[in-house]
């Protein structure tokens, strides 16, 4: 909890002073999560006692996965509301001893909604971040693209659509499209003259 928040704040500060796009730094952090989660047997629920874990697994659950999770929450809430929640959490618990649930409740309060659909999989459950394109159906004047959530974790969807005339268009949907627990999400794209649909993996994606 604390190291994840501290890392996100540090990334934001680094981006500000260096003039680098914050999303590019977070993208590298997410790629680190994806690489380690896919290749090493260390990706376990964050709500696990670190005294039961080895050094490498403890480091992963303390830094790598929390940064990936909180970067998604930053994308979902937006920077203004996300960092307002961070400040609210700090103000509420300054000089005290908060536990993760206190952070969850504070972010829920600032977000104005129950974020349990995000906290539960990313902090309490086994699973991983992995989405892919399923079926694509061309109808009379639109195309329906099926996105499948293979890993069960909510992540945003970024599609790049290339049309036959050489133009391209980007579609972004936030991770709450998975809040109902569905494993398939349909995206409607106007037109049918489509050459290619590509899923862009800016969010942490684990290909197993």
Beta strands 168-173 and 184-190 are unpaired
The domain locations on the chain are 2-124, 131-199
Task: Classify 3 as helix, strand or coil.
Answer: helix
Task: Please write the tens of the pLDDT for every residue from 157-208.
Answer: 999 999 999 999 999 999 999 999 999 999 999 887 888 999 987 555 554 4
The pTM is what? 0.83
Question: Could you give the maximum distance between any two Cα atoms of the chain, in Å?
Answer: 62
Which residues is 37 bridged to in the sheet?
Answer: none
Please report the pLDDT score of residue 47 as a whole number: 76
Average pLDDT, the chain: 84
What are the tens digits of pLDDT across the range 9-35? 887 777 777 777 766 666 666 665 555
Fold of 2-124: Neutral Protease; domain 2 (1.10.390)
């Amino acid at each position: 909890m604390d190291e994840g928040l501290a890392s996100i704040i540090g990334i934001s500060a680094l981006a500000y002073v260096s003039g680098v796009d914050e999303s590019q730094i977070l993208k590298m952090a997410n790629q680190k999560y994806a690489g380690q989660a896919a290749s090493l047997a260390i990706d376990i629920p964050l709500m696990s006692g670190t005294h039961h874990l080895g050094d490498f697994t403890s480091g992963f659950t303390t830094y790598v996965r929390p940064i990936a999770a909180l970067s998604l929450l930053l994308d979902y809430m937006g920077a203004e509301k996300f960092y307002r929640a961070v400040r609210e959490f700090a103000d509420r618990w300054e000089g005290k001893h908060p536990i993760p649930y206190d952070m969850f409740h504070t972010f829920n309060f600032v977000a104005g909604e129950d974020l349990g659909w995000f906290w539960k999989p990313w902090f309490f459950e086994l699973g991983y971040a992995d989405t892919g394109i399923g079926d694509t159906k061309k109808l009379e004047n639109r195309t329906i693209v099926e996105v499948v959530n293979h890993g069960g974790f909510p992540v945003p969807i970024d599609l790049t659509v290339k049309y036959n005339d050489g133009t391209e268009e980007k579609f972004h949907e936030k991770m709450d499209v998975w809040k109902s627990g569905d494993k398939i999400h349909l995206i409607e794209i106007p037109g049918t003259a489509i050459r290619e649909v590509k899923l862009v993996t800016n969010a942490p994606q684990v290909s197993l």
